[in-house]
A and B are shown apart, each in its own frame.
Chain A
Amino acid sequence: MLINHPLLGPRDAAEFVVKGDAALIGRPDGMTASPQEMHDYAYLRDNPAGTHRELWYHEQGDRSWLVVTRDTLTHEVLDVALARDVARAEGRSR
């Protein structure tokens, strides 16, 4: 697989570590969330067959975190964005 890095251009997928579902960006507030909410966040996954948004870490490159949208049935990469931009758009960061 080639990952079309927004800053670096096409990079070999082997340079990355995959952290799983990009929904992990939306971590509940640990001070107010219930144990059930934290459990669901930490352990449960949608694990869809088809389009999946996931976190990729460019460990062997510029160490940026990316949100890669990929088809889990075909391995086709549909979209790549900086996780920073995605998190800001979701109101996670200032």
Chain B
Amino acid sequence: MRYSAWQILKEGLTGNKGWKPVWREPEPKAEYDIVIIGGGGHGLSTAYYLAKEFGVTNVAVVEKGWLGSGNIGRNTTIIRSNYLLEGNQPFYEHSLKLWEGLEQDFNYNAMVSQRGILNLIHSDPQRDAFARRANAMRLSGADAELLDREGIAKMCPFLDFDNARFPIQGALWQPRGGTVRHDAVAWGYARGADERGVDILQNCEVTGIDIEGGRAVGVQTSRGSIRAKKIAMCVAGSSSRVAAMAGMRLPIESHVLQAFVSEGLKPVIPGVITFGAGHFYVSQSDKGGLVFGGDIDGYNTYAQRGNLPVVEDVCEGGMAIMPMIGRARLLRMWGGIMDMSMDGSPFITKTDTPGLYFNGGWCYGGFKATPASGFCYAHLLAKDEPHEVATAFRLDRFMRGAPIDEKGQGAQPNLH
């Protein structure tokens, strides 16, 4: 069924009896061309683009829990393409372009809202760094502007411009950045993939990866064994656990990142504001809640919850830069598990085992990458060669001395 205003009107007049489940609940087949492990945002977008762009429809997405139960529903919904390095920025700009056409493309309301993203500047060196970043962004075809204090004050008069420790000197502004309704992204991709014949298998946990003669040939799951010509891992957060089933060790640690939402407020925050110096960023959802977060807790964990010191740190950061939120009450907080890679950049790559592919290492930047990650992974799976904007995301880049060290911090996974 194609969704449209006409459809809503028709269903409204006929008692809403015509709406159908958005995807099927099929039984696993014995064999597929491609099995994607992980029914989160990236796995579902991979399946969608495989079917739609590359004509590969004999595909299963196997998901341990329910569809979209992981990080696609736990992130803070921000989209942007404000990266610096050659290996990264064209990829994220490709992703932002896909976001811009996404709702028309998959005929689903994902509430893509390009309300802009503001990265605050507090010192001359930081302005120089952001000017360089803005130039890199524009070279890749993205939009970027440097704002002065007056420019920011027009948009965000409530900020503490004369903060004693971090006075606001300016900002990097990307008007095309914004937010997206994250659950709808999973649902939209799932519907689009399902319509084209992809089997989405929920409550189907992968318990083993079958390797015969050095080649990956199938997976063992809680719903039986499934053979496949190609197996695509796509389980950021748990990548090390799944890769271990194939005997792989990864350049990844798993960490928890917490997110927070306040009670609903009238519209006060126009776009996304990041206060990197204070480990705080915020946007306001369409429902009115302030959605905010900060840094990872900093210790290895697979528990989807964090600890209180980071809650305090994040709230202090918020109070420092926008004291007006002091009376707002915290409504909910939660944690998601991140693949923290050794250079802060992701992987979309083949592995040493033929037939086995790997997508992961998204650190805490996976949501904005969802469309391009799926697109480029689908390209790799269908053609066995990387998409032109994702050639740098290889597993062997540390061995070759070619890390993509966006922050310039080296092999230190708990910093990114």
**A interface, CB within 8 angstroms of B:** 1, 12-14, 17-21, 35-36, 39-40, 42-49, 52, 54, 70, 72-75
Contact = CB atoms under 8 A, between A and B. Distances in A.
A43 B342 contact: yes
B253 A45 contact: yes
A43 B398 contact: yes
B398 A18 contact: no
A39 B400 CA distance: 10
B411 A43 contact: yes
Contacts of B413: 20, 45
Given A1-B307, A14-B309, A75-B303, A47 B254 contact: yes
A75 to B, nearest CB: 6
B250 interface: yes
Q: Give the top 5 A-B pairs by smallest Cβ distance, nearest first.
A: A47-B240, A14-B309, A43-B251, A18-B299, A44-B249
11 contacts: A13-B309, A14-B309, A18-B299, A18-B414, A21-B253, A44-B250, A47-B250, A70-B300, A72-B301, A73-B301, A73-B302
Contacts of B300: 18, 20-21, 47, 52, 54, 70, 72
For A12, A35, A75, which residue has the most chain B Cβ atoms within 10 angstroms? A75
A90 to B, nearest CB: 20
B241 interface: yes
A17 B309 CA distance: 13
Main secondary structure of the interface of A (DSSP, over half): mixed
Contacts of B307: 1, 13-14, 75
Contact of B251 (A18, A44, A48, A49): A44
A44 B141 CA distance: 35
A74 to B, nearest CB: 6
A47 B249 CA distance: 8
Contacts of A20: 253, 300, 413-414
A77 B254 CA distance: 17
B398 A39 contact: yes
Contacts of B254: 47, 49, 72
A78 B342 CA distance: 27
Given A73-B302, A75-B301, 5 more contacts: A18-B414, A42-B398, A44-B251, A49-B241, A75-B303
Interface in B137-181: none
Given A20-B413, A39-B399, A73-B303, A45 B252 contact: yes
A17 B241 contact: no
Contacts of A54: 299-300
B411 to A, nearest CB: 6
A54 B240 CA distance: 17
B302 A49 contact: yes
A46 B240 contact: yes
Contacts of B303: 72-75
A42 B411 contact: yes
B197 interface: no
B317 to A, nearest CB: 15
B298 interface: yes
Contacts of B298: 17-18
Nearest to A18: B299
Contacts of B240: 45-48
A48 B239 CA distance: 11
B288 to A, nearest CB: 32
Contacts of A36: 399
